[in-house]
Copies of this chain bind each other. A is one copy, B any other.
Amino acid sequence: MLNRVILIGRLTRDPELRYTTSGIAVATFALAVERPFTNQSGERDVDFIDIVIWRKLAETCANHLGKGRLVAVEGRLQTRSYDDSNGIRRKAVEVVADSVRFLDWPKNTSSSNDYDDQEFNGFDDDIDVPF
């Protein structure tokens, strides 16, 4: 009845953009989210959390984000069952994002993904940059 997730972390890879047969854009990536505290061996554990994004926000993320970028993601936790390529039944738990904020800037300016066409994205297509 209430389901809210807020994460800050870095993309482990470039977003993948796909389209449903009905033409709806879906972007997926994983977020590396460091735990606040160090473990017994003095390191910070990291949680790798799958993010799913729909529609225009999916395309904006695919166009502007890349591996290593720092983002804040808001969304809801979703569970889903599927059969993997070996026919094994698996449960997916992922965050369906309704908002993604960019918290840093691209490392090099030669990237094909940059901020040229940053624009307002409507209500559930909520994006922002950190200045």
Chain A 1-31 interface 0/1 with B at a Cβ cutoff of 8 Å (1 = within): 1111111110000000000000000000000
* CB atoms of A103 and B77 under 8 A apart: no
| Set B1, B9, B95: member contacting A34, Cβ < 8 A | B1
Q: Can you tell how many copies of this chain the complex includes?
A: 4
* CB atoms of A78 and B47 under 8 A apart: yes
Per the bound structure, the CA–CA distance linking A101 and B33 in Å amounts to 13
* CB atoms of B4 and A38 under 8 A apart: no
Q: Please count how many residues in chain A sit with their CB below 8 Å of the partner chain's CB atoms.
A: 40
Of residues 89 through 125 on chain A, the ones whose CB sits less than 8 Å from some CB of chain B are 90, 93-95, 99, 101, 103-104, 120, 123-124
**Smallest beta-carbon distance A28→chain B, Å:** 15
Chain A 78-92 interface 0/1 with B at a Cβ cutoff of 8 Å (1 = within): 110000000010100
| Set B1, B34, B77: member contacting A8, Cβ < 8 A | B1
Kindly list the 3 A-B residue pairs having the minimum CB-CB distance in the complex, ordered from nearest: A93-B93, A2-B8, A1-B8
